[in-house]
């Protein structure tokens, strides 16, 4: 019995150590005033998450509970489509948050409350057709040194300021660490950025890419710990 208990303890410890980084998700599909489907990345295994929705700007904190989901041993969510709460119908943008009352892990994002998953956007200077909005995942971090992102759906031929700031600011008004451009396919000219001196030692850091030309922006945050996450 002692050996079995020790074995279980060791296995549990290995499972705990095996999880690194933090959970995140992007918006996959929206039906106006009906439902939203997410694409989860790097969720911890065998955990439970409360799904909340609230007005834009709240990050879903204290929002309406629309579902409770669990993850399996591989970190896969038991459900990825959630109903939009009736009290939020009609809002142009809605915040969504998944938070675990057990481990404390959480992730949040927001979406346009339209069936096109974002209102048609104003074409960038090149005139190329563009819809939706840009977003990015955190791919890797080197503590107090740099962060590498995985960008998606960025408009083509545009210029973005890369800002970093304290957690909770969404990167607004942050320190400009780089200026990047996109090519005619929307690929960024640079995806690894230095963490500024003023933010070294911070536990969590917000990062934001914003275009002074078209107004497009995207933001995320990361733990200031050395880690790599398998993201698309």
Helix, strand, coil shares, percent, the chain, to 5: 10, 45, 45
Q: How many residues does the chain have?
A: 232
Q: What would the pLDDT profile of 9-58 be if each residue is shown by its tens digit?
A: 333 333 344 687 778 888 888 999 999 999 888 899 999 999 999 998 88
Q: What would the pLDDT profile of 55-102 be if each residue is shown by its tens digit?
A: 988 889 999 999 999 999 999 999 999 999 999 999 988 999 999 999
**pLDDT the model gives residue 49:** 97
Q: How many helices (H) and strands (E) does the chain have?
A: 1, 15
3-state secondary structure of 107: strand
Strand-pairing partners, residue 15, are none
State how far the Cα of 49 lies from the Cα of 106, in Å rounded to an integer.
Answer: 8
The domains located in the chain, with CATH, are: 21-112 (2.60.40), 135-228 (2.60.40)
State how far the Cα of 159 lies from the Cα of 229, in Å rounded to an integer.
Answer: 26
């Amino acid at each position: 019995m002692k050996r079995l208990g020790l074995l279980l303890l060791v296995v549990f410890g290995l499972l705990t150590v095996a999880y690194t980084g933090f959970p995140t998700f992007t918006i996959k599909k929206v039906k106006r005033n009906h439902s939203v489907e997410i694409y989860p990345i790097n969720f911890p295994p065998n955990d439970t998450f409360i799904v909340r929705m609230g007005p834009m700007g709240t990050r879903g904190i204290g929002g309406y509970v629309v579902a409770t989901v669990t993850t399996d041993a591989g970190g896969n969510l038991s459900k990825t489509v959630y109903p939009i709460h009736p009290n939020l119908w009609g809002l142009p943008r809605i915040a969504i948050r998944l938070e675990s009352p057990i481990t404390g892990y959480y992730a949040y994002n927001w979406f346009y409350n339209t069936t096109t998953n974002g209102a048609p956007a104003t074409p960038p200077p090149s005139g190329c057709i563009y819809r939706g909005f840009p977003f990015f995942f955190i791919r890797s971090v080197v503590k107090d040194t740099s962060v590498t992102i995985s960008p998606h759906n960025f408009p083509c031929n545009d210029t973005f300021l890369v800002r970093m700031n304290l957690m909770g600011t969404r990167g607004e008004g942050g320190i400009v660490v780089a200026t990047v451009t996109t090519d005619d396919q929307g690929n960024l000219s640079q995806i690894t950025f230095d963490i500024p001196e003023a933010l070294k030692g911070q536990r969590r850091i917000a990062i934001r890419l914003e275009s002074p030309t078209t107004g497009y922006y995207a933001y995320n945050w990361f733990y200031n710990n050395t880690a790599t996450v398998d993201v698309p």
